[in-house]
Structures are given as structure tokens and as C-alpha cells.
Structure 1
Amino acid sequence: MIREIINFTNGLLSDIPDIMQWNIQPDKGLHVFIDIDETGNWANQNLQQSIDYDYYDGKNQDIKLWNDCIRYQEATEYITMNKVSKFDKKKKIHSCSPFAVAFNFNFNDKEKSELGIKIFKKSDKPSKEELKSNNALIRAQRRIVIEERLKDYQSNSLSIYGIKKKDGDLFSNQPFIYGKQIMGFFNNLHKILNAVELIAEYSLLTGKDYLHLYLRTIPIDVQEELHNRYVKQEIFSGEVMLKEHFGSVGFFTAYNQKKPFLRHRTSFLKDGVSQRFSEEDAITLYTFEKLLRRKPQCLPNPLPIMVDGREWNKRVIKLFNESGDTLSFRDLLKQLFAKYNMKSLPNYYLLNLSKTVSGIVINDFDFVPLFRYYLDGDIVVSNVTNSSSLQDKSFEREREISIKTIFDFERVAVREVFNNSLVKIKEDKYVTNYFGEIDSNYVIGGTLMSNLMQKYRKAIYAYIYKSDTNAINASMFDDIMYQSVLSNIKLDTFENKRFEWNNSIKKKINIWFSLYKMFNQNDKRENMVTKINELKNEISRVTKGETDLLSPESFAFGAGQLVSYLMDRSVSTNKTYAMLEPYLQKGKSRFLQDAIAQTVTVYKHDINQIYKGRFEFLASQVLTYGGDIDMKPLLKYFLAGCFSPCTIYEKTKEITNNN
């Protein structure tokens, strides 16, 4: 895995030399440049905007010191947050250079409580004055903390950069012509902070906003050279094999002496570390991680890394960055396939990452031998249940939906089946949750749907993004669809007069039956759309007394139609689809027949005379159907009967026309 990333990054740096300048921007906050003269005195005490400082609000990039802010920040930044402790063991100061001091204003809840800072909950509605006062306290307390850490930071940064104190003369053992400026910078920091507090934009800083103080007197070329030396010196984590100058790196290698359970116990290499890298490779991985951290991002996520395909890697990265907007993986591939008239994408690794508070986390890294963008022939989601939407005060039958690409499947089917929670589309914003935490409180369908997502989302990701056609089989698909419909049954309430008019369930059944053969590796499954249409015609004839139930599937579908009609008879003021659950729990047909018979007894007085004949024809067939049938494989037909248009309500003329 690591070797593929190294090769990929080296190829990008060679083929796109300016990529390290793409999408780079300074931290949100205040950037202040300090001039210290040769005698150690502070020269630019009258700080002027656009000359000595600039404020970046995270949006407006039209600031005069933009390039300076970026360059100085890059020359003083940390390698990883763990490395910051060598400069400040409490990790309050985040710069890693004797030529800068940088920190943010973020306190955790424990620290806030100890310092008397208010912690506002989401439900709180503090006034502007309360927020202003609290933020002022945050800044004041942060300054106290920072000034307490400055002495150690100064000593450690000089030591790490090889600028050591000897015989009272700070730089006598290593000539450094800017020694007076460095000492002047640290000696004046209290005064500098006083002056910075007078800058109007300082009052805007809070939370994760940064204050950067840069010692501008020392040429940036010198700072960059020394920072590069520091990076090479500290790029390894753990022990370095000095002879070969190889070492372990902190880039997803799980090297941690304090957590032995994370180490590679089966490795034959020293201390259980599976692989050590050269200094050159370690720097490459550091560079790759810097590219990953870019905001806005300059590498897509998931990231395809082509095997022996440098030209394709270059095309993908350029296409991603030339779009003007941050492309999703699906939009990136859509443009790639269209631009180069591709039918498939072979031989690449797919790296999926998440950026968390703790850093970058690898969700998945796998080899994809062949990615299929287009499905085998157009797949049509037929409206077999007659789902309808309200248009101009009347219901209009919804149109069939064509699924041509794998991402059409994700956008149409996966979104609908998982209640807009696994794939969420709102106001053209397309969000997926294949790897993040799932909070059932924010999932439509509650715990049942949350559990369904947890159980199958990795398989769905593999099916869509890695073209693993074996990731979902027929039984898995049936379970997904049944449990998804069940989540509606457990929680949905009646919104219209008839039981059948639940559009969400209808859409799911349409997807279930239209994609029924899509996950059948043995090609033995029947065409369910055709089958359900045949059953609707058959039950229509049964309600006219023209035929008997001809099969177990007919019985299940007819039973669903009968139960749907009976549920409409309920006079409950708060009807829910949970009324259907007792029928779904019947393992054998005779138990289902008993339950239906009991319901008929309850509602027989309310059978409308208009529909009585058709009801009686269907009821007699369903309740007298012979055999002790196992209902589990027939539940889909039963549900289809419940949520398809009820033939009992059909008028004689309509029945004649439909036949």
C-alpha cells in the first residue's frame, strides 16, 4: 500500500511540478509580520494592515499579504501534532520554528470549566453580549497559557534547529548572523501581543482561528532551508537505523511503542515493525499527506491510484482541479469517461480517507482490477405498484426510472432504500456515509434502518466503488429490501384514506422487483415485474369470480390485497402501518388465514355493498386455499398485494377494460 502511494506521489511531483502550490491557503485567522533590527529592537511597532499584518476570514482571498502568509506559514509548520511536543510539551504553541509563534484559541470542555469559560449547548441561545464577553475571556486565557509556554518553546526550538547557547553567548558555538533578531523577537513578545490585541480583527479570533507571529527580518529562504533540515531530521518516528539511514514513518504504519497491540507481531523485522523507509520515501509520504490536508482538496476522495499509469494519474488529478468546483468521485468519473470515451477503468488502487479531529483515517484501500461505470444494459425501475405523487391537487402516476450507470444505481436505488440516510441528496448536495458514525436519532427508520446500514454499507460501497459484483448476492438484496420496507411499516402512519397509499413503500417495492435479477449470479430468478403484473390480472379475475387462485404466489398476493382492504375498515384515529406486523409474523399460510378470518369478523359490518361481491369472491378464495404453505419466501408477494392498487375497489367497467 505505502509503496503504491510513494510511486504515485513521485510521479505527480515529476509530471505536475507546481502541484504543491495548488489550493494552498493560510490558516483562518490573523497573520502578523514582525521586524527586529540588528540590535534586537522591535522596528515596526506601528503595525499597519496589508503591510505588517492581514486577516484571512477563510473566504476572502483578496489580501495583499496572501503569498507571504502562505510561504511563512509553510516554513514554520509542524510535521505532525505529535512532533509539536518537542517544541512545547503541552502542545499549546503549534509552530515548529524559532522564527515564529503560532497558536489557536481552542479549549476543550474540561479546560473551559477550569478557566471559568462558559460552555454553550446547542439548545442555548446566548445574546451577542454574552458571546462577545465569553470570546474575550477565551482570548485572554489563551494568552496567559501561551506566555507561560514561551520560555520552554524558545529553548526547545533553538536546540532543535541547532542554535545552541554556550558560555553566555547564545551563538558562539555556531555562527548565526541573525542571533540578535531572534532574541529580540522572544524578548519583545509580550509587547508584540499587547500591540496585536489592538488590531480590530483580533477580536474576531476564537475557537480554531489562528494567530501567527512571524519573524520577518530573517530572509524566508533561510527559514525554508532550516525548516527543511528540521523535517529531514524529524521525519522518522521511533528508532532510526543510522547506518542505512532508514526508519519507520508515522504515515499509517501503526508504529507506537506505547500501544504494542497495534504493532506487527508476525513481522520478522526488528521490533515487529513491518517496514522501514528511506529518508527520501519518508519525505515523499510527508508531501503526500500535505496534499491530502489541502482545503479545498486537490486530491479526490476516494483517490484512484493507477498501476503503471502515470499519464492517467496526471489526467485524473488535472481534471479534478480544473473543474472549478470540488468534484465528487462520481462526477469525476463521469467527466473522465465522457472526455476520453471510456468504457471501463482497469487496474488501480482505490484509497478512501476521512479527515477527523484525530487526523486522517484510512477507511479502505483496495485494488480494483476493472471498474465498470455503465451497467450491463439499461435497467428500468418500473412503477409496478402504481406509486403516485400529488400534482396540482391530484395524484399522477410516477414515471419509470432508467438506471444506466453504477452511480445512477446509487442515486436512485440506494438513496431510496436507505431513506436518504446512507446516500443523502438535499438541495443538490450529495453526501454518502459508507464509513462514518451512524446516529440512529438522525436516521429515518430509527434503529432498524441504522442496523441495516451498518450491516450492508461496506458491501454496497464495494459493489459501487470497487465493481465487486459478488459483494451483494440475491439473498442479501432481498434482506435489504424486506428490512427497509419493514422499517416503514414499523414507523409510518396513514397519510391518506387507503392502506395502499404509502408512496415510500411503493417506491421500495418497485426497486425491489425491478432490480430483482440484478444480483442473481446464477440467473435463475424470475422477472418480478412481469410476475406481479400477471398476479394483478389474476386477482382481478378472482374478484370477479372468474377463476380460482392458481399458485402459492397468487394466494400471498391475494391475501395482501384482502388485508389492505380490511385495514381500510379500521376507524382508529391514529392508524399506523404497524397494524400489518401480526400478518407478517405468520410462518404458515393456515396461521395467516386464521388472522385474516378474525379480522373479517371484526369488520364484516363495514363491508361496503358496492364492493361486497368482489370482497367475498377474494375472501373465499384466500381463506379456503389448501396446503400448509411456508410464508417466508412468499412475503414479497404478500407485501406487493398490500401496496398495489386493491382490485376490490375496481369498478366492473375498469376490470373489463383492463382485460
Structure 2
Amino acid sequence: METLEEQAPDLFEEGAKLKEGIYVALDIALEDGKYVLKNVDENGNILNEDIGLFTKKEELTPFFEKCRKVLQLSNPVDKNKIFNPNLKIFNVTCSPYAVGFTKKGIINNIEKIRKDGTTVGKSGILNELTKQYLKKAEEYVEEGQSSAWFNALKSWLTVYFWELVDKIGFNDLKDGYVIVFFHKEVPIVQYKKPYLKYVGENVFNKAEFNTSYQDIIYGVSDSLNTFNDKKRFLKHQSASFRFNYRVHGEDAQLVLKFYQLSKNKQLPNPLPIFVDKEEANLNADVVKLFNNERVSGYSEIIRSLLDLRKTNLQNFYLMFVQKGQIIDLDFVPVFKYTLKDKEENDFTLKEMFGTEPVMYFNSKDHNVFDFQFMVVNPIFNKQLVQETKAGALWIKYFDDLEIKPDYGLTDAIYNLLYKYRKAWYDFIYKSKQQTITMTMIDEMFKDSIIDDLRHDEELKKTAQMRKKLSLWFGLQPLFDNNFKTNSMANKTVELQTKIREIAQTESFHITTDDEFAFAAGQLIWKLLIQSESANRSHALLEPFLQKTEPVLFKQAIASTFNMYKYKFALYPTKYEFDKLLSEVMGYDPDILNMKEHLPMILAGYFSESIFKKQ
């Protein structure tokens, strides 16, 4: 944070985005012993130049820019550390020169019934303003001009608060809008001193937790710790110590600044934090790219850094923040922007089962973030990475998920995401390639494809399942140490030719388990396509895949053949279908667990049919 303050000072000056609501500058002066409002017209209305309703569609005019800076230098450290802790009405600002609240806060409290049975009402809200908010604010006022400004605002609002609320059109405002009154004559720089004093007193959790060492106060950072004294099941029961660590005030303020930048969305998420002294300047580069050059995506930031430095990125921490909490923090020794296979060679992923040649991924042309979008996302029915209406990418590695079958987020995909998305995050963003194994790849694709089978209607998911199967087999060089001796992709290409030869040649026979499984897949496709149902579906394949023993598997094929045998003509000599059916029914596989044959059954099923006329 100190490096950022030196190299990107504007980052801290720009602060938060302005909240939607109405902002009013009050020019209050003392005349003849009475405080009066100077910036009003003949009807007593605030001059147009000193009042404004800000919405997301509004441009940041000089007036609104001043309002933004007022908010920046009066922003509460925490919702529990405001000047009005009782009813928490005036919770938008913490400053002796500004009073901020929301319409909702007024509405929710004005009719509230106290414990003694009385209603809060307008008088109660005004009492909260004068005896809580302004009384606390006065603690941060120094003598002299500072005191004069504060007394002017205090005295005038005490008398005219509700009249001003009515004049700004309170009833017409949206409930969520903020309402901020501030002293017009106070220079922005004068907001800073009382605010820094307020922050310094409130960055620690509780004063009773503070301790002094060599005249320096150390305490528990309020940004990093919460204490669940009233929630017994959230309290640590077995720790031998009460506090994990304390920090001194300056560090606590740096931590607070970090969380404020994160909350204001002035930092990318995830955020790389470079720790090597020689690369510390990269931290400022990251922030400048994100804020000044509007490079919003993490992948674009990494690409820009690589273009700037012309070298690998290394020795950085990667932090992911969600809802004001650090969800993930890990060290990345070296980041790999491009992917290679197990032998450090380039690789490609292309369609293996469709008739049209399609290239899904080429490591020469694509990077690891392309891999995330082009290869990983399809496993999860494109539910891990989605494009928003604004064109940005919504990446859900840490989001809460909701099952939505109509959009592809079925029970099975939901479970796969929760089980494997963190491993993929580590693989892609931290270059921890050991987090994904071939066993995991097998399970992900198997479960995803079977889920597609179950939800298929009218064979609409054919292309989607063929793509997943192609990616599954094609990923072996990246994750399987034995891919050269057990390449599913090579086997599939060979089997597409071999099974055709077996079907067409009387003297050729099935001799391996892979040939058996692939041929069975071809037969099942040929049989199921005979269905005259109005809704033919790949779901009919699943019962075959559920068989665990070869004899039961063959019985399922035989039963299906009996159902459709009237569609197959009988000839004196065997033809392709007849020949292949006899080969499959007559072969006894060495591996008796049919679940082990699932990949090759699927390969045969989704390959171009050998029974198709050439």
C-alpha cells in the first residue's frame, strides 16, 4: 500500500464512486447573531448550482466531484462505528461538516415504537441528530475556523432540518437514495484532518484489546478481525490465545485503505501482489492499467504486464476478495501464460467425432485464459464462465451457485463445479498444474457427458457431447504421464478404421477389449436410431452404460435387437451389421468391469457410423 501511495497517489484521491441520491451544499453564515442560509432564491429554495440528484446515468460534474470527495473523507470505517450508533439513522457520513443518511433510514425509524411504548417520530430523529451525531462529531473539531464552520452547520440544522428535508422533495426520492447535507464553505482539504483522527481512533476493534510497546499502541485490526462474543458457536473454543496478532495504528490504516480500495472496485479481482523488490513497481502498473487504462479483466492485465516487461511473471501473491473478505490468498512462484503437454510440446484439441473439422484449442495460438473459456468451461455446460450483457466475463470460481437445469446448471454440473472449480482456479491462475490429474479429468467428463445423456431431447445434445468427448481424449497429453502408450485419441482414429474392416471382412475378428467396446458403441447407435418415437433421445444409451458385467451388457444389446429386428433384412451371407453383432456377442473381454469400457463405448457410439454408405 505504501508503494501504491507513492506511485499512484491519484488512486487514493479518486476514492469511491458517488452514491445515488441527493446532495445539498449549505452556505450558512452568522448575521446579527443568527445563522441564516445564504444560497437560496427568493422563494427559499436552494440554488440549482448547490443541489443535485445523482444517478448512475449522470455525469460527474464539478459539483458532484466535490460531493464525491466529501463522501470519501467522511466514509464510516464500519457500520458499527458511526456517530449515531443508537438508531443508526445518520450512517452515511462521519464528519463535523456533513450529515448523511438514507430515505429508507428515516422511513424505517420515524414510526418505530420504543421499548417504553412511545413513537420515535420527527422529534426523536432530530434528537438522534443533535444529541448523538453532532455531539460525537464535535469531538473532532478544533478551535478557530473549524469550530465556526461546525457550529454554523449544527445550529442551522437543529432548527431547519425537517424544513430542508421537505424542500428537497423527500417523498419523491427512491428509498435507497442517500441524502447528504454539507457545509459549502469548508474546503475539501479541511475534511481530511478530522477524518484521519476519526479513522485513527477506529481502525482497532476495541480499545480494551490494545496494548502499548515502546510507546506505540498495538491493537486488533477491525478490518481483519471480528469478535463473535454474542455468537457462541462462531467463537474459537480451543485456542490457547485470545488474539492471533496485533498491529500498530499505521499498519491498521494501510489495511483499512486496502479494503476501501477493494470495496470501491479500484483493484482488480483477483489481485496479483508482487513481493520481489525488483518487481514491486508491477503493483503500481497493475493498478494503473485497471483504473487509468480501463483494462478490466485479469487476463488482459496479465497480458499487458507481459507486454510491458517482456518476461515471465513470478514471485507474487494472488488474492481473491469476495464480499469484503479474503477468500483465497496463495503464492505463485512462476506464472505460465502458455500451456505445454507433459513433454513441453505444443498440443491441439480438435473435433474427433463430427464430420466437420473444428479446432477447439491450439497451444501455439491460445493462452491459459483461452483454455479456461474454450476447454474448461464446456465441461460445466458453460456455467463456470459467462458473458454479461455488458460484454464482461462473469467467472464463478467462488460464487454461490443455484441449480438451474433450464440453463445447463443441473444437479450433476452443480456438484462438479463445487468439487473441481477451485482446482481449476489453481491450475489456471496460479499455474499449479499438479492440482488437476487425469483421474479427475476422467470423472469430470464422464459425469458431464452422462448428465447430457439424461437431459437430451430429440438428439439435440449430439454436438455438445461429441465436443466433450473430443476434449476428454485430447487432454491426455496435458494430464496423463502415459499418454504415448495409451492415447485415447490415437486409439479412436485407429478403431474407426479397424472396426470397419472387421465388419466388412469375414476373416477379421475382434481381438481386444477396446475393439469390443468401440464396436458395441457402434451397434448401440445403429439399434437406437431405429426408434420411431417422436422424441428420440441419447438418454436411451444410459441403461447400457449402467451394466457392470459383460453378460448383462450383451443381454441389453440382444434385447434391443429383438425390439427392432424387423427393421433388419436377412441375407444368406453376413453383412456389416450382422457380422459386427456376432463379433461383439462372441467376444469375452479381459476386463470384466464394464464401467472401465465406458470411454470406448462412447467413442464408438458418437463416431461416424461404419454402417453408413460410403
| TM-score normalised over the length of structure 1 | 0.82
CA deviation after TM superposition for structure 1 residue 568, in Å: 0.3
CA deviation after TM superposition for structure 1 residue 536, in Å: 0.5
Aligned-partner Cα distance in 2 for 1:145–1:539 = 86
CA deviation after TM superposition for structure 1 residue 279, in Å: 0.8
The reply to whether residue 368 of structure 1 matches residue 365 of structure 2 is no
Choose 517-526 or 283-292, whichever is displaced more.
Answer: 517-526
Find the counterpart in structure 2 of residue 121 from structure 1.
none
Find the counterpart in structure 2 of residue 382 from structure 1.
350
Find the counterpart in structure 2 of residue 92 from structure 1.
89
- Secondary structure of the corresponding residue to residue 335 of structure 2: strand
Q: Kindly tell me: are residues 567 and 330 of structure 1, through their superposed partners in 2, closer, same or farther at Cα, counting changes over 3 Å?
A: same
Aligned-partner Cα distance in 1 for 2:360–2:331 = 35
Q: Kindly tell me: are residues 425 and 196 of structure 1, through their superposed partners in 2, closer, same or farther at Cα, counting changes over 3 Å?
A: closer
- 1:29 corresponds to which letter in structure 2? G
Q: Kindly tell me: are residues 146 and 548 of structure 1, through their superposed partners in 2, closer, same or farther at Cα, counting changes over 3 Å?
A: farther
Identity across aligned pairs (percent)? 27
Aligned-partner Cα distance in 1 for 2:358–2:426 = 31
Assess if the C-alpha contact under 8 Å between 2:350 and 2:360 holds in 1: yes
CA deviation after TM superposition for structure 1 residue 260, in Å: 5.3
CA deviation after TM superposition for structure 1 residue 385, in Å: 0.7
Find the counterpart in structure 2 of residue 334 from structure 1.
303
Q: 1:235 aligns with which of 186, 197, 203?
A: 203
- 1:26 corresponds to which letter in structure 2? L
Aligned-partner Cα distance in 2 for 1:292–1:584 = 49
CA deviation after TM superposition for structure 1 residue 315, in Å: 2.0
Q: 1:44 aligns with which of 39, 42, 64?
A: 39
CA deviation after TM superposition for structure 1 residue 64, in Å: 3.4
Q: Kindly tell me: are residues 505 and 477 of structure 1, through their superposed partners in 2, closer, same or farther at Cα, counting changes over 3 Å?
A: same
Q: 2:286 aligns with which of 297, 303, 316?
A: 316
Q: 1:153 aligns with which of 122, 126, 129?
A: 129
Q: 2:468 aligns with which of 508, 511, 517?
A: 508
Aligned-partner Cα distance in 2 for 1:12–1:334 = 21
Assess if the C-alpha contact under 8 Å between 1:263 and 1:273 holds in 2: no
The reply to whether residue 32 of structure 1 matches residue 29 of structure 2 is no
Aligned-partner Cα distance in 2 for 1:587–1:486 = 16
Choose 463-472 or 171-180, whichever is displaced more.
Answer: 171-180
Assess if the C-alpha contact under 8 Å between 2:103 and 2:176 holds in 1: yes
Find the counterpart in structure 2 of residue 53 from structure 1.
51
Assess if the C-alpha contact under 8 Å between 2:380 and 2:417 holds in 1: yes
Q: 1:222 aligns with which of 190, 201, 204?
A: 190
Find the counterpart in structure 2 of residue 277 from structure 1.
247
The reply to whether residue 552 of structure 1 matches residue 513 of structure 2 is yes
Choose 210-219 or 433-442, whichever is displaced more.
Answer: 210-219
Q: What whole-Å deviation, never above 9, does each CA across 1:427-483 have from its counterpart, x for those lacking one? A: 743221111111112650511111111111111111111111111111111000100
Q: 1:476 aligns with which of 429, 440, 465?
A: 440
- Secondary structure of the corresponding residue to residue 353 of structure 1: strand
Assess if the C-alpha contact under 8 Å between 1:415 and 1:421 holds in 2: yes
Aligned-partner Cα distance in 2 for 1:146–1:580 = 71
- Secondary structure of the corresponding residue to residue 411 of structure 2: helix
The reply to whether residue 597 of structure 1 matches residue 558 of structure 2 is yes
Aligned-partner Cα distance in 2 for 1:87–1:311 = 42
Assess if the C-alpha contact under 8 Å between 1:417 and 1:481 holds in 2: yes
Q: Kindly tell me: are residues 299 and 484 of structure 1, through their superposed partners in 2, closer, same or farther at Cα, counting changes over 3 Å?
A: same
Find the counterpart in structure 2 of residue 177 from structure 1.
148
Choose 440-449 or 65-74, whichever is displaced more.
Answer: 440-449
Could you tell me which runs of 5 or more consecutive residues in structure 2 were left unpaired when the two chains were aligned.
Answer: 113-119
The reply to whether residue 625 of structure 1 matches residue 595 of structure 2 is no
CA deviation after TM superposition for structure 1 residue 316, in Å: 2.0
Assess if the C-alpha contact under 8 Å between 1:160 and 1:230 holds in 2: no
Find the counterpart in structure 1 of residue 117 from structure 2.
none
CA deviation after TM superposition for structure 1 residue 82, in Å: 2.2
Q: Kindly tell me: are residues 537 and 57 of structure 1, through their superposed partners in 2, closer, same or farther at Cα, counting changes over 3 Å?
A: same
Aligned-partner Cα distance in 1 for 2:360–2:199 = 59
What aligned pairs does 1:385-424 form with structure 2 within 5 A after superposition? 385-386=353-354, 396-399=356-359, 401-403=361-363, 404-424=366-386
CA deviation after TM superposition for structure 1 residue 566, in Å: 0.5
- 2:161 corresponds to which letter in structure 1? L
Find the counterpart in structure 2 of residue 126 from structure 1.
none
Q: Kindly tell me: are residues 584 and 207 of structure 1, through their superposed partners in 2, closer, same or farther at Cα, counting changes over 3 Å?
A: farther
Choose 483-492 or 369-378, whichever is displaced more.
Answer: 369-378
The reply to whether residue 258 of structure 1 matches residue 227 of structure 2 is no
CA deviation after TM superposition for structure 1 residue 152, in Å: 1.8
- Secondary structure of the corresponding residue to residue 527 of structure 2: helix
Q: Kindly tell me: are residues 302 and 341 of structure 1, through their superposed partners in 2, closer, same or farther at Cα, counting changes over 3 Å?
A: same
The reply to whether residue 80 of structure 1 matches residue 78 of structure 2 is yes
Q: What whole-Å deviation, never above 9, does each CA across 1:253-273 have from its counterpart, x for those lacking one? A: 24443345555666665xx11
- Secondary structure of the corresponding residue to residue 386 of structure 2: strand
CA deviation after TM superposition for structure 1 residue 539, in Å: 0.9
Q: 1:537 aligns with which of 472, 482, 497?
A: 497
The reply to whether residue 614 of structure 1 matches residue 576 of structure 2 is yes
Assess if the C-alpha contact under 8 Å between 1:306 and 1:313 holds in 2: yes
Root mean square deviation, CA, Å:
3.0
- 1:644 corresponds to which letter in structure 2? S
- Secondary structure of the corresponding residue to residue 82 of structure 1: coil
Aligned-partner Cα distance in 2 for 1:163–1:216 = 21
Assess if the C-alpha contact under 8 Å between 1:98 and 1:154 holds in 2: no
Q: Kindly tell me: are residues 23 and 335 of structure 1, through their superposed partners in 2, closer, same or farther at Cα, counting changes over 3 Å?
A: farther
Q: Kindly tell me: are residues 147 and 433 of structure 1, through their superposed partners in 2, closer, same or farther at Cα, counting changes over 3 Å?
A: farther
- Secondary structure of the corresponding residue to residue 25 of structure 1: coil
